[in-house]
Amino acid sequence: MIKSLEQEKRKFAEKEILFLVFQSALNRGFPVYNKKADVEKKKKFKAYLSERLKEWVEKCKGKEYVSVLTEFQNDINKSEHKIILKNHKITFGRVQKLLNLYLKYHWTFGFDKKEPPHCPIDSIILGKIKWPGPSWTNPKFDVEKYKEAIDKCKKKADKKSVVEWELFTFRNRTDLDISI
């Protein structure tokens, strides 16, 4: 009975993590989907991403992380789901947000003990590093722009890891007041 309860708690947490990841990575900024993307096709795409994210977490271990992100982007862009994506491809900014945020949640909730290799890059973090370039949702935010943004984050982080710095920076943002 206890094992079953633990399994249900984990399933619940995983569904909530995926919901938050998809909200953050797919529902902001430049359009992700083309006009032909109906609700059913979007659901299938998210189901595909759910499975792929779990697989790609394993691929992060022992590989150069930016190449993992590039491979993940290529994997999505070769899938049958590309037909619903704007210009039939997912942008690098979306891919990094999907995988980085997924890894961040797993780490912060204690599902993974190992700290993620990078932090999620979004408008809050880009603002904190005074980013002059395109937003993370812009198709022009490519792998090179991502590397530049991560380097700027590392400089800001100083002696902390970039992931630790982002966690404190994101938590301490001033644009959200959730006091009761």
pLDDT at position 176 is 54
pLDDT at position 122 is 96
For 14-106, strand residue ranges (E) read: none
Average pLDDT, the chain: 92
- pLDDT band for position 59 (50/70/90)? confident
Burial class (CB in 10 A: 0-12, 13-18, 19+), 114: exposed
The tens digit of pLDDT for each residue in 122-139 reads 999 999 999 999 999 999
H/E stretch holding 103 reads: helix 92-108
- pLDDT band for position 24 (50/70/90)? very high
Q: How far apart are CA 14 and CA 28, in angstroms?
A: 22
For the chain, strand residue ranges (E) read: none
pLDDT at position 61 is 74
Q: In the predicted model, is pLDDT for residue 177 greater than 60? A: no
Q: Output DSSP code: residue 82.
A: G
Q: In the predicted model, is pLDDT for residue 73 greater than 90? A: yes
Phi, psi of 179 (to 5 degrees): -70, 150
User: Tokens in use for 96?
Assistant: 């990094």
Domain boundaries, given as residue ranges, for the chain: 2-171
The tens digit of pLDDT for each residue in 158-176 reads 999 999 999 998 876 555 5
Burial class (CB in 10 A: 0-12, 13-18, 19+), 12: exposed
Please, what is the angle between helix 39-59 and helix 65-78, to 10°? 150
